[in-house]
Amino acid sequence: MNALQLSQEYFDNVAKPLLKRDFPELYPRLAAGLAGNGSECYGYDDEISRDHDWGVDFFIWALEEDRDMIPTLAAWKEELFEKTPPAQARSRSQYGAPVDVMTCADFFSSMIGTPGRPKTLGQWLSPPEENFAMAVNGGVFFDGPGEFTAARLELLDHYPQDIRLKKIAAKCMALAQTGQYNHGRTALRGDTVTLRSVLARFTDAAIAMAFLLSKVYMPYYKWAFKAMRELPRPAGEVADLLAEIAGAAGFDDESQARRQDAIEKVCAIYADELRTQGLSDSGDSFMVAHGESVMRGIATEALRNLPAQYEV
């Protein structure tokens, strides 16, 4: 059982009845759960994860009108863990993200800089994508007023379409530049360090593309490939090809050919998916053509006028 499951079990069986008893009037206006920073919030924690910042814990989220009750609730939670400690209480390192009592708006502001779904282009583009993933991961154990859940659902609707298209176009260009163009040329030069960088950049772009096409926020890079395998097709097929590229680690002609073949297959899969989703009308095999086609579908002038390869 991972820490997210253990935390919900502890909250349901121990914390929730006491919270309801001690704050009968406030309780219906509270929410609780575990989300944000940490492998446990994705359900990816394992034995290796338990060396730091791991274990049972939960947030309590209050409405803005109840902000003055946060110190009282925080003291209550601290006393709860002292008097009725969970069997696997969360450890805390100096680098660990706190799991606190806060308002719903403050939680989302701490993740993405706004108290809910961003409203402007700048607000959408300021936080890294992994922060959006943290804002909607984990689980909500209880939500009396429904405010926290409603805000999560709005964020789960993913990026506005024009931002998504701009990101997809940039990934098309990155796949073309790193995999279809520079992989072979770098190998011919015998520049093994740059070749490793090229393959890493291609892999990062291919993983990011899978999330964009699925309208799912990509998590922190450490978990991105694992999470990719949970996405709908064609992500799984691409993931297998990326594993093949990683496995063909040599610099001999055979390894080079295997990697290039897998690279072209990845690009062909994504080109087909872009056409299937109506995002590209190009029949070309070179991903640059698809990046340019995707750009033409962007309505927002400020985004459409950026270079296709420009990351936002």
Q: Using alpha carbons, list the distances in angstroms from residue 27 to 10, 17, 80, 207, 252.
A: 17, 10, 16, 42, 65
pLDDT tens-digit map of 258-284: 999 999 999 999 999 999 999 999 999
Determine the pLDDT at residue 151: 97
Specify the pTM.
Answer: 0.94
Determine the pLDDT at residue 51: 63
Structure tokens at 55: 């274990």
SS3 61: strand
In the numeric block, the tokens 């359900």 are attached to: 43
Task: Give the CA diameter of the chain.
Answer: 72
In the numeric block, the tokens 């176009």 are attached to: 169
For residues 270 and 56, what is the distance between their CA atoms, to the nearest angstrom?
40
For residues 108 and 36, what is the distance between their CA atoms, to the nearest angstrom?
9
Structure tokens at 107: 């939680």
Q: Which residues pair with 32 in a beta bridge?
A: 60, 142
Q: Which residues pair with 224 in a beta bridge?
A: none
Determine the pLDDT at residue 98: 79
Tens digit of pLDDT at every position of the chain (312 positions): 799 999 999 999 999 999 999 999 999 999 999 999 989 989 887 777 776 667 899 999 999 999 999 999 999 999 999 999 988 877 776 676 778 999 999 999 999 999 999 999 999 999 999 999 999 999 999 999 999 999 999 999 999 999 999 999 999 999 999 999 999 999 888 899 999 999 999 999 999 999 999 999 999 999 999 999 999 999 999 999 999 999 998 888 899 999 999 999 999 999 999 999 999 999 999 999 999 999 999 999 999 999 999 999
Structure tokens at 32: 């609780």
Question: Is the separation of the CB atoms in 162 and 300 below 8 Å?
Answer: yes
DSSP 8-state assignment for residue 64 = G
Nearest to 274 by CA among 254, 291, 299: 291
Determine the pLDDT at residue 119: 97
Determine the pLDDT at residue 297: 98
Determine the pLDDT at residue 311: 95
Structure tokens at 303: 């985004």
For residues 194 and 189, what is the distance between their CA atoms, to the nearest angstrom?
10
Determine the pLDDT at residue 94: 64
For residues 22 and 206, what is the distance between their CA atoms, to the nearest angstrom?
51
DSSP 8-state assignment for residue 143 = E
